[in-house]
Amino acid sequence: MTKIVAGLIGLGTVGSGVVELLKKQDFITIKTIAVKDPNKQRPQIEGSTITCNIEEIVNDPQIELVIEVAGGIEPIYEHLKNAIKKGKHIVTANKKLLATHGPELFALAQKNSVRLLFEASVAGGIPLISTLQKGLPANEILSVCGILNGTTNFILSKMSKEGTGYDEALKEAQILGLAESDPTDDVEGFDVAYKLCILSALSFGQFIDPISVQREGISRLKAEDVETARRLNCSLKLIALGRRDNLTEKIDLRVHPILVPNAHSLSGISGANNAIIIEGSAAGKICLSGPGAGKLPTASAVVGDVITLCQNKHLPLEQKSLKIKNKENKNKSKNKKSQCGFKNYLRLVLGASSKPGVLISALAACKIIALQIEHDGLLTYTMVTDSQSDEQIDKFRKTLETYDIKVVSRLRILEDESFSLTA
């Protein structure tokens, strides 16, 4: 195996895990480590220089590989571009950077004959990227569907299994180090959207701008929604879903809280674990699951890329490059809502001026079939619709408003052959 000299950007949770795992390898030397605060108390790392200046890594001619686990876009984007221009290989776990600037970085790596590896950017320790790149090249990927954020899965698991409130579950996730002090990226679905954009490039041959992903987080979910999942024999999960419309060729990417039938393989994924189902044209459906975050699982993916690089550094360039089509989705701003359909659970509250029978009239006007309707005898109805597009559900909402009926909760249902609406 080729020996290599590396620089490491970031020495937080994942960075310290990378150092821990690389200590056991004799093929690599970490010459320089860039950190935000060089005066912070930390264990001495033998043979490595600590600096707060990333340019010391970028401009060092002895350093052949830059390992980036700091996260964020600026100033990392400019530093990695400069490193690539100087002929340095890159291993990164930075999903936000790749989702936002992937086309430029991969093109630049190709131009400068270097490798850009990113296994740790999606699903932590699960070998998802390598499965798509190396395990399924004979397949057209039809869809990807999964749980890609351990923080939200932990919170929803606590709410569902223990009856914990959202705020309490989030606080526990923060105490355990599963959630940041500002959890917005996780709980509002941004983190999953970035990962889904990377999977789109690998699965469907297109980089999609993260702005185009239809995204909803979990912060607005209520105890009633968790109870609904239980009553319908479902679990509540934040699901990433990517698929290609066979008629229009449009790539549909979405992140939503979704009701997952208990018989579905994603329903039992609990705690901070991740899981992803890949549907290939030849292989069929493949499910990968495991720890999606954490110090050593993510570091394992980073170091796996480093080992791959050292084993294959001298392969011809055509075997190194990311195999995606050279085109981007141009719908970078708000796309029209996709026509992909879901069954929907809706909770409705009747206003003072609403009258008996108007709900049936609204369903008929919008050509929606109610598979189930329940009434609490007061002002609330719940229903499950047949499969409908987002556009059709939006039309239904507006129609209901004219009858003084408000939709206070909508949850999509991940359809499954064994799904039953009976409790």
Q: Which residues are catalytic?
A: 195
| One-letter amino acid for residue 168 of the chain | E
Q: Which residue has the tokens 């709900």?
A: 359
CB–CB of 245/389 below 8 Å?
A: no
Say what angle helices 166-175 and 150-162 make with each other, to 10 degrees. Answer: 130
Total Cβ atoms within 10 A of residue 352 = 6
Report how far residue 270's alpha carbon sits from residue 286's, in angstroms, rounded to the nearest whole number.
19
Q: Smallest Cα–Cα separation from 219: which of 232, 193, 238, 233? A: 238
Look at the chain and count its residues.
423
Report how far residue 80's alpha carbon sits from residue 58's, in angstroms, rounded to the nearest whole number.
8
CB–CB of 99/197 below 8 Å?
A: yes
CB–CB of 205/244 below 8 Å?
A: no
| Strand, coil or helix: 187 | helix
Report how far residue 221's alpha carbon sits from residue 177's, in angstroms, rounded to the nearest whole number.
22
Total Cβ atoms within 10 A of residue 269 = 24
Residue 358 CB burial class (10 angstroms; 0-12, 13-18, ≥19): middle
Q: Give me the torsion for CA of 110, 113, 118, 119, rounded to 10°.
A: 110
**Angle in degrees, CA 379, 381, 386, rounded to 5:** 160
Report how far residue 371's alpha carbon sits from residue 422's, in angstroms, rounded to the nearest whole number.
11
Per 3-state DSSP, the chain is made up of helix, strand and coil in percentages (nearest 5) of: 35, 25, 40
Report how far residue 19's alpha carbon sits from residue 303's, in angstroms, rounded to the nearest whole number.
9
Peptide bond into 75 cis (omega under 30): yes
